[in-house]
Structure 1
Amino acid sequence: MLQQVNGHNPRSDGQAREYLREDLQEFLSGEVLLYKLDDLTRVNPVTLETVLRCLQARYTADTFYTNAGCTLVALNPFKPVSQLYSEYHAAPQPQKLKPHVFTVGEQTCRNVKSLTEPVNQSIVVSGESGAGKAGVQWRPPLHPANFLYF
């Protein structure tokens, strides 16, 4: 028995797939708004294609950091971006800013320094060779959280 698919009543599995494809195309046609999604868990439907489209839209908008739940996805801009880090140095509450490597460092520091329940923390930086890992690793010393790197 076929169920209703996003408001459509398909007559066959093929038609159901077509409705889903149309809905996906409709979603992707709103790609202009994808760059505003700062957490990949908010992309709907969560598919490889929609996640990649969201990251592509954010990259095109020079937005190189995106959350994926509690994980930060950092894209290498392969170019100097002058204000990529300056906004975070001057922020009184950086944890309230958009996704950024400094926000990860800030949250890590708060968790370690917590008076109620200090928690051991790790920051894992992974990626292919030449992906910009070293650039990300060396940025936190610019931030007040620099004690994380002994």
Structure 2
Amino acid sequence: MPPHFLDRLTPRAYPRTRLLTAAIVWSAVGMFLSVKGIYLSREGSLFFTLAVIATGVALGIVKGRFILDRVAGKIILHIGGKPSRACLGGLFSVRNWMLIAVMIIFGRTLSLLPIAAGIKTGLYVMVGSGLAYSSRLLWRAWKTSPAEIA
């Protein structure tokens, strides 16, 4: 049976490359959200801003430890369970892609709502620092995964 047209166009990657991609995505999105939150806090007193950022980071690490670490572990297992060279977009499950879409919609909605900058700062920093913190598991899995055969 001839290969399906889309199969020929699908970017294939080894598990180690998919782990690296997932780690970069989590780290980049986490840093982006944290920086966006800090940028939003440019108004107001320095003490209040630092308190909101510190609280956001602390809650983000707690969220990362108890929620996002489990998600990262599932992503690592998902990537490891795929064939050697699988679709690069398959690094996340369909459920994870749906969650990503919901989070994007939530973020866009949050930016449009008339909410105090301090609350937005705390939420962005919390989610961003949680992602960045939990990305350590993806980086560790990438670092310890066997080298690929070219």
Q: Which has the higher contact order (CA 8 A, sep 6+)?
A: 2
The structure carrying a bigger helix percent of its residues is: 2
Is TM more than 0.5 here? Answer: no
TM-score by length of 2: 0.27
TM-score by length of 1: 0.27
- Bigger CA radius of gyration: 1
